[in-house]
Amino acid sequence: MLWLHLHFYQLSLEHCAQAINSEDPWVVYQASSNEIKQLNHSAKKAGIEIGMGLAEAAALTTPLRITDYCEQTERQLLNYLACSLYQCAAEIALIPPHSLTIRIDTLTRYYGGVNNVWFALKSLLSQLEHQYHFASAWTPEAAEALARAQTNRFFTQQADIKKALYSLPLSRLLLSSKQHHSLARSGVKHVGQLFELPGTELGKRFDNKLLQYLYACRGETYPQRLFYHPPEQFDEHITVPFEIENTQHLLPYMTKVIERMGTFLRLRNKATQAVELTLHYREAEATELTIRKATLYFSDDEWLQLITLKLSTLILSAPVISFQVTALGLQEVGGQDNDFFHNRRHIFARQQLAGKLAARLGESSINTPKWPYDHRMQPDSKTMTHLTRYYSDLPGVVLKQPAPLSGTPKIEFGPVRVETAWWSDEKHKRDYYIAKNQHGQRMQIFREDNRWFINGWYV
């Protein structure tokens, strides 16, 4: 087994920075324990440290921006991160409020190696723009210990994992202060020393819960994990870090939510023409707004423009403390509205483009490729000539009859769903993929009745 642990140590601070890009010292403060939980570079440069009290931190620098820590907000942000990472990996276990672990070894066949898996995850994480510490190991417990030590290494070899784990100070393990004190009195200061102790001796001093944790860290047992499953409907509730009196200050938070909604819909091949926006106040009654579009085609910029126009006419009855975005009436995007490698375009957009070209070049200069609306029908040679001429991303050779797929090619793109016969009692759906076999040949494949078939070849 191989697991990757990600520790997002600045979630609350990054959530605040969406609206204000301040270079002033900024900290996230937890009043219940009187300690600084997170801080930015300016605060660290001023001498403020994690765990410091507020009075001591305020004495070191002026001005000091302070945001209250809210564990529930971090849990929500962690769920949003898991939903985004779900497009790369399915086995994700949450460790609230700010960590998660991902099983890597089950993805190697799909990505073609553990390093390719890490490259895909790292690329997605860079787009999410969150700071994190990470490490990989044979179990989630071991990976978490290495990440807590800020190892920031993606290990693939057992020997490297063991070397890094055994050299950790004992404080990186999730032990109680009493257990730390007891082990320190015995002269145990590093993880390696603890792991070398026989189980019988540990069993005399500690309870079964600690023993199970240590065995998991050593990779001798594998406790079961409850994996994250994304919701079926898009409904996000965002708590803003400070009261907002101007609707323009809501837009940075709206931008992030709309981006996540776009990812959510694309992964499910869904679309929506209406979004419900609910603004919550501390005492006044909530304001509900419904924003509608004329087409199903999803565009981040278009949705933000519509939301901006809607908010520009709104006068807030009180400062906003949170807001909720809900996608209404999700609909599946039909196969006729999309194509491989391109953003989905609505049929009206194509008609508008054809009209502009005809007006500019003349109708005799415009040719339109044809494709049978029912994908269960086999295209004739004339139709295929048009398709391969105008759409290089379609297979150059389409088989007369789908052929059974042999081997385990690597999927490079997909799925793209084609749906037909919706008007009849024999509604049919099929998801197409582009794959590359061991000989470097690309093919269009699909799955039906738990079997894979080749639909065509790219030449």
Coil, strand or helix: which one is 334?
coil
Strand, coil or helix: what is 442? Answer: strand
Contact 197, 187 (CB under 8 A): no
- Angle (CA) 28-252-346 rounded to 5° is 145
Task: Note whether 168 and 190 are within 8 A (CB).
Answer: yes
List the end-to-end C-alpha distance of the chain, in Å, as a whole number: 39
Q: Locate CATH 3.30.1490.100 in the chain.
A: 235-333
Is residue 372 pLDDT above 60, yes or no?
no
Going by pLDDT thresholds of 50, 70 and 90, the confidence category of residue 358 is: low
pLDDT average, residue stretch 47-62: 91
**pTM assigned to the model:** 0.67
Tell me if residue 99 falls in helix, strand or coil: strand
Which position has the higher pLDDT, 158 or 395?
A: 158
Instruction: List CB contacts of 171: < 8 A, sequence separation 6 or more.
Output: 180
Residue 102's nearest CA partner among 6, 224, 223, 10 is 6
Q: What is the mean pLDDT of the chain?
A: 82
Amino acid at 399: L
pLDDT above 90 as % of the chain: 30
3-state helix/strand/coil string of 248-290: HHHHHHHHHHHHHHHHHHHHCCEECCEEEEEEEECCCCCEEEE
Helical spans, DSSP H, in 66-169: 71-85, 108-111, 114-128, 140-148, 158-166
List the structure tokens of 363.
């109708």
Query: Cα torsion for 295, 296, 302, 307, to the nearest 10°?
Result: 90
Fold of 235-333: Dna Ligase; domain 1 (3.30.1490)
Closest by Cα among 6, 348, 285, 335 to 147:
6
Residue 380's pLDDT is 42
| Phi/psi of residue 255, nearest 5 degrees | -60, -45
